[in-house]
Structure 1
């Protein structure tokens, strides 16, 4: 089986590639035995794509890396040929950047997905796994979203992801393409670009700096370790039903203020290092995914507790300054 991983040099995509290739046979504890004969990474290497994320599997003979943009149909067509499965991570994903300028989000997340879907049809790809986000639902005051909940995105980023979700599902309904969509809660873990809240806070605190807390800190997120996310995707890739959406969650909801407190404790810092900043425009108050469907159908449940996952993540950033300092501009500072 040949697997194409778009965005495979990014945070979540590279975890998936390392998971596929890092253990003999392509397996790890709790991960289906996908056993790829080859894995191709297609990544444009924009600011958040980093070849260093693939260093642990760089010498695996099954790995092929192609630098290219999913918006370029000719490149996509050439790369897709010969693959059995596409796992599509590539996306512009930072909400604040989408508020500052939406065009790259629409062109990459919608038009890039369309180019991949068209190529998958032409080349007879057996399965297309489209990786999405809980942000497509907007905000929920209580309870949890199920997979049939109406989409109501509130940022240009989440709107572009909602558009790509609907487009992928439409290719299943219109053309019979075997498409499955996953929607996840907030990811964290090693190799995450330090613009996201956990690596941003950890790297700032490790360098003796301050951290910004939006508004009253009461926004609630469910936290999912990146390895659990990739385990869930692997289960969907192997046994998910075509045309279906599956939620992948972490099972631990925290306010941003509660998360900040945990990170301060993990880094040995106090609340004097926290600076309150004006709230983000259109800031969703709470996200919460119901994971009953993927648990019942595929046996998924999160395996890494937030306490253990945060401790491991903080230790990783503490021990891997050579990876993140060039990204934050603090190298040799």
Structure 2
């Protein structure tokens, strides 16, 4: 897929061994990009499944970082420490989600990379997420997962503000979907876990009452947005509204309770897997649903609809049926 000059974009994706990084790599390859996939584990299953330039990243080695940034037009940074590990090791969280981002950004600028797309999280805003949240909402979550991601975000936004590079920060909500390999650490995610349960147990079991609300987004929608941001001159996509913000909330815009998502997955099991599954949850004295969540963007149109939800769920169920039956 060429840019306005007809030149094929060369994209470096870090965190290539993860759920989002692997799916973005697969999507961009199908769109015609030249993809370099960076990972700490050069033997990662994801890299072997794709026709990419697979490179090992030594995050503390400046020369290594500069080398992997050479001849790259766009970097998609999908590398990061998850919430559980951040809580256990706050210092490590700052190192990975903050310092490593700054190191990669420095190498990107030195290597002449044009654009740096950094994937962050909606959870910088609050815990739990509730109410109306847009890019204008002030982040207040003090969990190490949130504060370390804020550190990485600020580095990217500052570099963009200074004109060193085109920096874009995407705050993702609860993305879900099939991984490229079974060993990708994604089975703790609610939707992924429930789809795996549907195959392994023929029953869906929620740990709570399922009344809390979340914003879920299919990975296909996330990949589609990143594809667009890799192609276009982002800072001119909507000149009528002025310079767009380099900070974007990326969600579906739908407020859905956990139990509603579980029921949606349950409804897809018969047509996709050929059998019905049960659904269990913990009951409580107060069965009133939790506060709605309106996770919106002031700068992006709607990224998905219910049909894309079901398509992603169906493909995830089929994936689980193939590998976990």
| TM > 0.5 fold call | yes
> 1:128 & 1:311 partners in 2: Cα distance?
32
Match of 2:300 in 1: 294
Match of 2:27 in 1: 19
SS at match of 1:247: strand
SS at match of 2:192: helix
Tell me if 1:249 matches 2:251. Answer: yes
> 2:311 & 2:74 partners in 1: Cα distance?
33
Tell me if 1:177 matches 2:165. Answer: yes
What are the superposed Cα offsets for residues 21-71 of structure 1, whole Å, 9 maximum, x if unpaired?
125xx2xxxxxxxxx3x32111113xxx9833345533xxxx210122434
- How far is 1:180 from its partner? 1.2
Kept after mapping to 2: 8 A contact 1:181/1:244: yes
> 1:287 & 1:77 partners in 2: Cα distance?
41
Report the CA distance shift for 1:269/1:211 in structure 2 as closer, same or farther (over 3 A). closer
Match of 1:40 in 2: 36
> 2:146 & 2:54 partners in 1: Cα distance?
28
Tell me if 1:135 matches 2:123. Answer: yes
Tell me if 1:116 matches 2:104. Answer: yes
- How far is 1:243 from its partner? 6.2
Identify the match of residue 55 of structure 2 among 57, 63, 66.
66
> 1:219 & 1:99 partners in 2: Cα distance?
22
> 1:91 & 1:151 partners in 2: Cα distance?
19
Report the CA distance shift for 1:79/1:248 in structure 2 as closer, same or farther (over 3 A). same
- More displaced 10-residue stretch of structure 1: 253-262 or 8-17: 253-262
Identify the match of residue 239 of structure 1 among 222, 233, 243.
233
Match of 2:261 in 1: 259
Kept after mapping to 2: 8 A contact 1:185/1:287: no
Kept after mapping to 1: 8 A contact 2:208/2:282: no
- How far is 1:209 from its partner? 7.7
- How far is 1:115 from its partner? 0.5
What are the superposed Cα offsets for residues 239-292 of structure 1, whole Å, 9 maximum, x if unpaired?
3228611222223321122223333444432234x4689xxxxxx976532134
TM-score, normalised by the number of residues in structure 2: 0.78
What are the superposed Cα offsets for residues 103-136 of structure 1, whole Å, 9 maximum, x if unpaired?
3322111011010111112112111111112111
SS at match of 2:210: coil
Q: How many residues align?
A: 290
- How far is 1:10 from its partner? 1.5
Q: What stretches of structure 2 of length at least 5 have no aligned partner?
A: 1-8, 236-243, 270-275, 285-289
CA root-mean-square deviation: 2.9
> 1:154 & 1:230 partners in 2: Cα distance?
29
> 2:317 & 2:266 partners in 1: Cα distance?
11
